[in-house]
Homo-oligomer: A and B are copies of this chain.
Amino acid sequence: MTDLSLRPAQSHDRDAIWSIVEPILRAGEAYALPRDWDRAQALAYWFSPAHHVFVAQEAGAVLGSYYVRANQLGPGDHVANGTYATHPAARGRGIARAMGLHSFETARALGFSAMQFNLVVATNTHAVALWTSLGLRAVGRLPGVFRHPTLGPVDALVMHRPL
């Protein structure tokens, strides 16, 4: 991963981000987002005004994207939340890990003191293992809150770490 670089997303990254996010939406196994969102709906969400969006780029190709935002408002706005997407053809190469580490730095720079993921699908074992290895701890288990397309209702974890 020596050539991977992380930078803020720009408008010209929209096609690349859609090509990365669409297959994850369609698979319906990871995000609590509508599986049938079209390009405009998905990009409007990904680039919501409150989101700080980054891309992971290698040799000129965008292979991943994430955003960080405040997880709650008011007295809860010191905790960040993030969502991550890696291109299906680029999985297993440490891109999600690099984005995770970068997102912690981004969140710290924005003044957040913790990171919380509200819904990590328990059957998404790669994600659970990755976040655990990056210092997140399961602080809750939500029974049956995610309708997996083949497994039916499955649990999700709430994961948290200080920054």
Which residues of chain B have C-beta atoms less than 8 A from A32's C-beta? 72-77
Q: Which of A2-10, A48-56, A145-153 contacts B (4 or more CB under 8 A)?
A: A145-153
Pair A74/B28 contact, Cβ less than 8 Å: yes
Which residues of chain B have C-beta atoms less than 8 A from A147's C-beta? 75-76, 78
Number of copies: 2
23 A-B pairs (CB sep. < 8 Å) = A31-B74, A31-B75, A32-B74, A32-B77, A34-B74, A35-B75, A71-B145, A72-B119, A72-B145, A75-B148, A75-B149, A76-B119, A78-B147, A114-B144, A114-B145, A116-B142, A118-B118, A139-B141, A139-B142, A140-B141, A143-B160, A145-B160, A158-B158
Cα separation A99 to B60 with both chains bound (whole Å)? 55
Contacts A72-B145, A76-B145, A76-B146 known; list 10 others, CB within 8 Å.
A32-B74, A32-B77, A75-B147, A75-B148, A75-B149, A76-B147, A78-B147, A114-B145, A139-B141, A145-B160
